[in-house]
Amino acid sequence: MTDSVPHAPAGASDAEAAEGRVYTVSGEDWDELVAAANEARDFQSGERIVVNMGPQHPSTHGVLRLVLTLEGETVVEVRPAIGYLHTGIEKNMEYRTWTQGVTFCTRADYLMPLFNETAYCLAVERLLGIEDRIPERAQIIRVLVMELNRVTSHLGGIAPMGLELGASTIYTQGARLRERALDLLELITGLRMNHAYIRPGGVAQDLPPGALEGIRAFMDTAPRLLQDLHTLIDANPVFIGRNKGIAYLDLQACMALGVTGPILRSTGLPWDLRKSQPYCGYESYDFDVPVNDMCDAYGRYLIRMAEIEQSLKIARQCVDRIAARGAPGPSADPVMIRDAKIGWPAQLSLGPDGLGPSPEHIAHIMGQSMEALIHHFKLITEGFRVPAGQAYAAVESPRGELAAHVVSDGGTRPYRVHLRDPSFHHLQSVAAMCEGGMVADLIPAIASLDPVMGGVDR
Amino acid sequence: MSGPAGPEETHGSEAPQGPRAGSGQQAEPPAAGASPAEADGDLPARLGEERLNAPVVRMGLFGVQGTPDTSGYGLLRVHRAAPIDSPRPYGSYFDELADALGSGLQAAGLGFSDAIERVVVDRGELTLHVRRERLTEVAVKLRDDPALRFELFSGVSGVHYLEDTGRELHAVYHLLSITHNRRVRLEVSVPDADPHIPSLTGVYPSSNWHERETWDFFGIIFDGHPALTRIEMPDDWRGHPQRKDYPLGGIPVEYRGAKIPPPEERRHYS
């Protein structure tokens, strides 16, 4: 074997003799790698080396592993390997009640938790046949938190993209705006991520006092911060040089590879489920679907920025609608379906010993209504039953079509839940986008897909 | 509550809405101006009646089976509707879609029922149960026929129906037509003993990873797949973890002196 690899160092191990030299990339060592690649090329023209990038590489958006075959600096072959963040979310959901399922699926794609929850809840509601009985106020709040989540998710894609290209100011500027949106989500749901806020039948909690004012204040500052980002990035020659014409994927390839979301819209097709198959009342909001026909990483960046503006526009309409409905009152304007056998009975309230069921609810079930007590007990121990069947509910997530395929056997727990995650589809297109290009272009290409491994591996 | 009606009452009244969802049938969308007979179905005494007429699949104790815990409620009767075979007309765009698919298959020398076992219209969604030998032809027609044009493959997920003897493993495909803004679901069922389904990678390249995942989790073998290897689990993993006969695992957790059993050993009420 050693005869066929004349420049293998003396005393090469058996593995090296059999597979050639093994390089492991761990970030910030491109110089060494390129030198090694050049060395290989100099000594043996056209020799290919296989580089293992990840799963612990800082530029792969989590634990994505890429197996690269390089010829010099040219990527000949790239094979993404996934599964490093597989946590069995779908299997675990089969062992919890329908309501508890929300707590699991929210952790799938952790940058867009509220979309995971909505897709799952819409599917459960379709199975229950209660789609048209969800309170109006709950639908508006769902749209509101989803659009705020879209802002944080897109910024969570754009800001690290800058960092991966070596521009830490893009990261800090993006994070500055993102933090404010996350603060709002924290105010509304109690958490920055993994909210478990949207539940089958409505949402867990009405907006807290001060939420509308907080969102309005955010609306006033966000456009300026967004403009700062535009000023910083849009015409930046380095950013353009690294992104324009990189990671080209046209409409035909998107169709063949099942690619949706901003990547599809960067090919000129204005496909947005919020417009084409509206849910949660999106048909009644006024917003545009940004498109361009650049088909590259720069085009996707522009679309994400434009979508943030549209999200703010939708969120503003939500705030106006909620404000027009007046002060929240659980009996007058509920946020959970009025069905004692499905709707989660208690709203949380802050007592001297922390968060717990509201004192009014405790007084009601303990002192006034035997039926309410029975319903409370049954819902919390046993959960509700969902008629047998299957449903597929899709929402337009920041990354594309996110859907939940939910199967019920008529019991109190899901029989099977499958999350159709857009990142899972998009990573399949890495080979189509990057093979034949430079190894350095791989970084903006992956970043322009904005994959989140929590969603890919579930 | 006494007598045989008692348990049915307690467990039968959970279907909180009209017969539409409770029955899982919803054959056609309600006609404009519902007839008095239909309105009758919404009366509290009639709620869930249809479901209670469905065959009983299980009786006895709810909770974990095969443990010494017999403290649960013991008079459970679980009803389950028989498989649906929706009659024509299907409603919505489904008739048009079925006609187009039927004529497309006829042009290829196939009858509709040669390829499609069963058509299910449930909750506003169309499911075509496809015979596995004809899956590729059906997918090609769905993709290429100008009246169908399902360009986008939204994934395949497996479902393991442990009690559906002879057709335990189901592969469920979701297709989306951007041209016509329509969706359709294909379902292929195979026995556990012979879990082979033709791969759709030649028709929809994006099915590649999804089929690997379904093989990884359920053990369904997609014939003709270029590299059917594990994708989520480690390469040397044994078994297919999403199957119903594969345990969830877990260990009891002690909290303030009490032991909380792992999720799969906790009592449940299905």
Helix, strand, coil content of chain B in percent (nearest 5): 25, 25, 50
Is the CB of A401 less than 8 angstroms away from the CB of B159?
Answer: no
Which spans in B19-127 are helix H? 19-22, 36-40, 49-52, 94-107, 112-115
Determine the distance in angstroms separating the CA of A376 from the nearest CA of chain B, rounded to an integer: 13
| Chain B nearest C-alpha distance from A425 (Å) | 7
- Three-class SS state of A203: strand
Mean pLDDT, chain B, whole residue set = 78
User: With an 8 Å Cβ cutoff, are B181 and A276 in contact?
Assistant: yes
ipTM reported for the complex surpasses 0.85: no
Is residue A280 a contact partner of residue A142, using CB atoms and an 8 Å limit?
A: yes
Q: In this model, does residue A328 exceed pLDDT 70?
A: no
Which residue of A409, A412, A413, A421 is the best one to mutate when testing the B interface, meaning the one whose CB has the most B CBs within 10 A? A409
Q: Is residue B20 pLDDT above 50, yes or no? A: no
- Taking alpha carbons only, the member of A27, A453, A447, A451 closest to residue A247 is A447
Q: Which of A115-124, A343-352, A442-451, B21-30 has the lowest mean pLDDT?
A: B21-30
- Judged by CB atoms closer than 8 Å, whether chains meet at A269 and B178 is answered as yes
Instruction: Compare A446 and B83 and report the one with higher pLDDT.
Output: A446
Distance from CA of A236 to the nearest CA of B (A): 35
Q: How far is CA A364 from CA A351, A374, A438, in A?
A: 17, 12, 67
Candidate from B127, B157, B231 with C-beta closest to A418: B157
The nearest alpha carbon in chain B to A409 belongs to B80
Task: Summarize pLDDT for A361-419 with one digit per residue, the tens.
Answer: 888 888 998 988 988 888 888 888 888 889 999 999 999 999 999 999 888 899 999 99
pLDDT at A34 over 80: no
With beta carbons under 8 A apart, name residues in chain B contacting A410: 24, 78-80
- Segments in A132-202 forming alpha helices (H): 136-164, 168-189
Tell me the chain B residues in contact with residue A432 when contact means C-beta distances shorter than 8 Å.
none
Using alpha carbons, select from A435, A345, A384, A454 the residue that is nearest to residue A125: A384
Q: Is the pLDDT of residue B22 over 50?
A: no
pLDDT for A329 equals 57
Q: Which residues contact B149 (CB under 8 A, 6 or more apart)?
A: B143, B177, B178, B179, B180
Mutate to test the interface with A, among B1, B9, B11, B14 (most CBs of A within 10 A): B14
Q: How far apart are CA B168 and CA B171, in angstroms?
A: 10
Across the interface, whether the CB atoms of A389 and B183 are under 8 A apart is answered no
H helix runs in A296-350, sequence order? 297-324
Return the higher-pLDDT residue of B108 and A277. A277
Searching chain A, which residue's CA lies closest to the CA of residue B267? Answer: A382
* Residue A190 token pair: 């109690």
pLDDT single digits (tens) A137-182: 999 999 999 999 999 999 988 988 888 888 889 889 999 999 999 9
Measured between beta carbons, which residues in chain B are less than 8 angstroms from residue A387?
Answer: 15, 21-24, 51
Backbone angles phi, psi at B268, to 5 degrees: -135, 175
User: Residue A2 has what pLDDT?
Assistant: 39
Contact flag B24-A260 (C-beta cutoff 8 Å) = no
Closest Cα partner for A233 from A30, A60, A444?
A444
pLDDT confidence of residue B47: 59
pLDDT computed for residue B23 by the predictor: 40
Whether B14 and A385 lie within 8 Å, measured CB to CB: yes
User: Is residue A104 pLDDT above 70, yes or no?
Assistant: yes
Taking the CA of residue A270 and the nearest CA in chain B, the distance in Å comes to: 10
Q: Give the model confidence (pLDDT) of B137-179 as tens digits.
A: 899 989 988 888 899 999 899 999 988 888 889 999 999 999 9
Measured in angstroms, the CA of B99 and the nearest CA of chain A are apart by: 23
Q: Does residue B8 surpass a pLDDT of 50?
A: no
Question: For B231-240, what is each residue's pLDDT tens digit?
Answer: 999 989 999 9
| pLDDT on residue A289 | 93
Tens of pLDDT, residue by residue over A201-210, are: 899 888 888 8
Spatial distance between the Cα atoms of A81 and A84, rounded to a whole number of angstroms: 8
Three-point CA angle B123, A122, A390, nearest 5°: 40
Chain A closest CA to B113's CA: distance in Å? Answer: 23
Give the pLDDT score at B98.
87
The pLDDT value recorded for residue A54 is 74
The answer to whether the CB of A304 falls within 8 A of the CB of A449 is: no
Cβ-based contacts of A420 with chain B (< 8 Å): 154-155, 157, 174
Are the Cβ atoms of A401 and B176 closer than 8 angstroms? yes
pLDDT tens sequence across A209-249 = 888 999 999 999 999 989 989 998 888 898 898 889 888 99
Of B24, B209, B231, the CB nearest to A389: B24
Residue A394's pLDDT is 93
Q: Which residue has the tokens 């015409």?
A: A235
Q: Which residues of A touch B208 (CB under 8 A)?
A: 428
Contact A277 B16 (CB under 8 A): no
Q: Do residue B209 and residue A382 have CB atoms under 8 angstroms apart?
A: no
**Predicted local distance difference test score (pLDDT) of residue B25:** 41
Q: Is A89 or A62 the better-scoring residue by pLDDT?
A: A89
Taking contacts as CB-CB distances below 8 angstroms, the residues of chain B near A133 are 17
CB nearest to B209's CB, from A129, A416, A428? A428
Reported confidence tier of residue B33, pLDDT bands at 50, 70, 90: very low
Angstrom CA distances, B82 to A337, A392, B77, B118, B269, stand at 29, 21, 15, 13, 21
Which residues of chain A make contact with B77, given a CB cutoff of 8 A?
Answer: none
